[in-house]
């Protein structure tokens, strides 16, 4: 009954058009004040202790690094490198877009930032080269979603933070620890590369079928020149992932290092950004960070309410008594997350659902790292379809296309992503093999 009241109140507040973060906070305060005896002072304490996490500090640093790279000309050099490698194939510029999105995703951690950085250059270039605008916008809108699957990923940090305080038991009654940011980053490498390959395959097939233009083959001198110009940006991938795996620094420290590194190469190496532009980048990063941290704060309160009312434990007991296994449970999870993607953005979905789903998944023997990657892929799909798919709105602004037209344009790639979601859901080793081989599990 309490669960119905809590979720009913939350949905009612969201339907008024209220921001999700405020709806979460009001739901918690209203329920605690009117229907429980929990001291209201505990809310203030939870507000501070809930976000007192070292891992949360990674979020503003990754956002700052992504903004420096977006404004610092790194994306343009990565596009030139990608075009020199695959531009001579069918749909060469489209394949270059997929490859550039994958590379930029590995240094930004944000899908909208990837769409802006790559799309603002490549969509006009594809149209000028003779590609239909629908094709270019569809490639960018969907490939940009790689920004939250290929590490570093802000969504993965949010998953690790939101499940960090949850109590979970496996089928044998042993305590299950939540996934760390480092484990999730390594787990995202193989699925991220595999999805990039599948999106590229879809792009190649459509270009081959419709005989879209091909670029002249670049010689080895041109390829080496493009690589040399982009190498400073590519080194950031090695710096972040290599540093985490080698144990030189934690994911949070890696985020801080990436922000400083991005500042240095944007201002002093490539010199595409002036020192006078830095305050503007800092301000925009602070605004985005504040928005996400505010959502996290209210989501932590909501998680506290779920735990105090024993809702995850009640749902776990019900699932066990109903005989639902891990196969059916993961199918239900996918449906819930895909439906939620129609009305909410990824950070809110993860912060609300992860603390509830994590104990249930653990009780069914589902690894927390597998669940984290599965949720991240669902968030990718949600970014690419209306009514709140953020990538669609960003890409439509760049391509000057209506949302309905762009939605139709993304369908071939979106169907590829849905097929990949099924594969990730029921083949856990895609997510678990690499961190297990590296001794992280």
Higher pLDDT among residues 310 and 94, named by residue: 94
Partners of 175 in the beta sheet? Answer: 169
Higher pLDDT among residues 71 and 251, named by residue: 251
Q: Kindly report the average pLDDT of the chain as a whole number.
A: 85
Q: In angstroms, rounded to a whole number, what is the distance separating the alpha carbons of residues 228 and 262?
A: 17
Q: In angstroms, rounded to a whole number, what is the distance separating the alpha carbons of residues 282 and 315?
A: 43
Best CA proximity match to 369, nearest among 174, 169, 163, 198: 163
Q: Which helix (H) or strand (E) holds 358?
A: helix 346-363
- Asked whether residue 418 carries a pLDDT value surpassing 90, the answer given is yes
What letter does residue 36 receive in the DSSP assignment?
Answer: -
pLDDT tens by residue, 265-282: 888 888 888 888 889 989
104, burial (CB in 10 Å: exposed 0-12, middle 13-18, buried 19+): buried
Partners of 169 in the beta sheet? Answer: 175
Q: What is the reported pLDDT for 39?
A: 73
What letter does residue 239 receive in the DSSP assignment?
Answer: I
Q: Three-state SS string across 302-323, please?
A: HHHHHHHCCHHHHHHHHHHHHC
Higher pLDDT among residues 159 and 316, named by residue: 159
Dihedral pair phi/psi, residue 175, rounded to 5° = -70, 135
What letter does residue 267 receive in the DSSP assignment?
Answer: I
Q: What is the reported pLDDT for 139?
A: 92
Q: Quick one: the chain helix, strand, coil %, rounded to 5?
A: 80, 0, 20
pLDDT tens by residue, 197-244: 999 999 999 999 988 888 888 888 888 888 888 888 888 888 888 888
Q: What's the gap between Cα 184 and its chain centre?
A: 12
Q: What is the reported pLDDT for 15?
A: 78
Q: What is the reported pLDDT for 216?
A: 82
What letter does residue 385 receive in the DSSP assignment?
Answer: S
- Asked whether residue 359 carries a pLDDT value surpassing 90, the answer given is no
- Asked whether residue 166 carries a pLDDT value surpassing 70, the answer given is no
Inter-CA distances, 387 with 15, 106, 119, 346, 384, Å: 14, 27, 21, 13, 9
Give the DSSP per-residue string, 163-227.
HTT---B-TTS-B-PPPPHHHHHHHTHHHHHHHHHHHHHHHHHHHHHHT---PPPP-HHHHHHHH
Among the residue ranges 51-55, 121-125, 201-205, 371-375, the one predicted with the least confidence is 51-55
Q: What is the reported pLDDT for 277?
A: 87
Q: What is the reported pLDDT for 50?
A: 65
- Asked whether residue 330 carries a pLDDT value surpassing 90, the answer given is yes
Residue 306's pLDDT band (cuts 50, 70, 90): confident
Q: What is the reported pLDDT for 196?
A: 94
What is the mean pLDDT of the segment spanning 14-19?
Answer: 78
What is the mean pLDDT of the segment spanning 270-295?
Answer: 85
pTM above 0.85, yes or no: yes
pLDDT tens by residue, 96-143: 999 988 988 888 777 888 888 888 888 888 888 888 888 988 999 999
Residue 88's pLDDT band (cuts 50, 70, 90): confident
Best CA proximity match to 371, nearest among 435, 327, 437, 425: 425
Sequence length of the chain is: 441
What letter does residue 439 receive in the DSSP assignment?
Answer: T
Q: What is the reported pLDDT for 371?
A: 95
Q: In angstroms, rounded to a whole number, what is the distance separating the alpha carbons of residues 247 and 225?
A: 33
Q: In angstroms, rounded to a whole number, what is the distance separating the alpha carbons of residues 357 and 314?
A: 12
What letter does residue 344 receive in the DSSP assignment?
Answer: S
Inter-CA distances, 123 with 110, 115, 137, 141, 243, Å: 19, 10, 6, 10, 34
Start-to-end CA distance of the chain, whole Å, equals 38
Higher pLDDT among residues 383 and 431, named by residue: 431
Q: In angstroms, rounded to a whole number, what is the distance separating the alpha carbons of residues 71 and 59?
A: 19
What is the mean pLDDT of the segment spanning 426-435?
Answer: 94
Residue 167's pLDDT band (cuts 50, 70, 90): low
Inter-CA distances, 153 with 222, 285, 350, Å: 32, 16, 13
Angle at 162 between CA 321 and CA 311, to 5 degrees: 30
Inter-CA distances, 3 with 66, 305, 313, Å: 39, 10, 12
Give the DSSP per-residue string, 242-262.
IHHHHTSS-HHHHHHHHHHHH
Dihedral pair phi/psi, residue 26, rounded to 5° = -65, -35
Q: What is the reported pLDDT for 436?
A: 92
- Asked whether residue 308 carries a pLDDT value surpassing 70, the answer given is yes
Ramachandran assignment for 94, one of left (phi > 0), alpha (psi -120 to 50 degrees), beta (any other):
alpha
Q: Any residues with CB less than 8 A from the CB of 306 and at least 6 apart, and which?
A: 6, 312, 355, 356
Residue 53's pLDDT band (cuts 50, 70, 90): confident
| Cβ-based neighbour number of residue 274 at 10 Å | 10
């Amino acid at each position: 009954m309490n669960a119905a009241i809590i979720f009913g109140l939350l949905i009612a507040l969201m339907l008024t058009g209220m921001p999700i973060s405020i709806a979460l906070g009001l739901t918690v305060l209203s329920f605690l004040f009117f229907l429980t005896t929990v001291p209201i002072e505990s809310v203030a304490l939870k507000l501070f202790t809930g976000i007192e996490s070292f891992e949360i500090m990674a979020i503003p640093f990754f956002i700052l690094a992504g903004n420096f790279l977006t404004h610092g000309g790194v994306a343009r050099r990565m596009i030139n490198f990608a075009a020199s490698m695959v531009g001579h194939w069918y749909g060469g510029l489209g394949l270059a877009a997929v490859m550039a999105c994958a590379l930029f995703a590995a240094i930004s951690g944000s899908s909208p930032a990837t769409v802006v950085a790559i799309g603002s250059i490549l969509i006009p270039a594809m149209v000028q080269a003779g590609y239909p605008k629908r094709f270019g916008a569809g490639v960018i809108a969907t490939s940009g979603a790689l920004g939250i699957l290929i590490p570093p990923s802000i969504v993965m940090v949010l998953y690790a933070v939101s499940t960090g305080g949850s109590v979970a038991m496996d089928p044998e009654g042993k305590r299950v620890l939540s996934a760390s940011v480092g484990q999730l980053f390594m787990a995202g490498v193989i699925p991220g590369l595999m999805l990039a390959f599948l999106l590229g395959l879809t792009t190649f097939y459509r270009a081959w079928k419709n005989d879209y233009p091909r670029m002249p083959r670049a010689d080895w001198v041109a390829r080496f020149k493009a690589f040399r110009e982009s190498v400073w940006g590519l080194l950031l991938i090695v710096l972040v992932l290599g540093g985490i795996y080698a144990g030189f620094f934690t994911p949070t420290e890696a985020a801080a290092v990436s922000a400083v590194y991005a500042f240095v190469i944007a201002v002093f190496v490539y010199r595409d950004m002036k020192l006078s532009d830095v305050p503007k980048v800092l301000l925009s990063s602070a605004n985005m960070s504040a928005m996400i941290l505010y959502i996290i704060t209210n989501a932590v309160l909501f998680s506290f309410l779920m735990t105090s009312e024993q809702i995850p434990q009640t749902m776990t007991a019900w699932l066990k008594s109903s005989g639902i296994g891990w196969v059916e449970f993961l199918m239900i999870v996918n449906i819930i997350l895909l439906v939620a993607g129609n009305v909410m953005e990824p950070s809110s979905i993860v912060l609300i659902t992860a603390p509830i789903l994590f104990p249930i998944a653990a009780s069914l023997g589902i690894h927390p790292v597998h669940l984290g990657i599965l949720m991240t892929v669902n968030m990718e799909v949600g970014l690419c379809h209306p009514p709140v798919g953020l990538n669609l709105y960003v890409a439509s602004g760049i391509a000057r296309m209506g949302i309905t037209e762009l939605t139709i344009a993304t369908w071939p790639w979106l169907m590829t992503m849905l097929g990949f979601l099924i594969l990730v859901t029921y083949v856990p080793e895609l997510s678990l093999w690499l961190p297990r081989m590296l001794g992280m599990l």
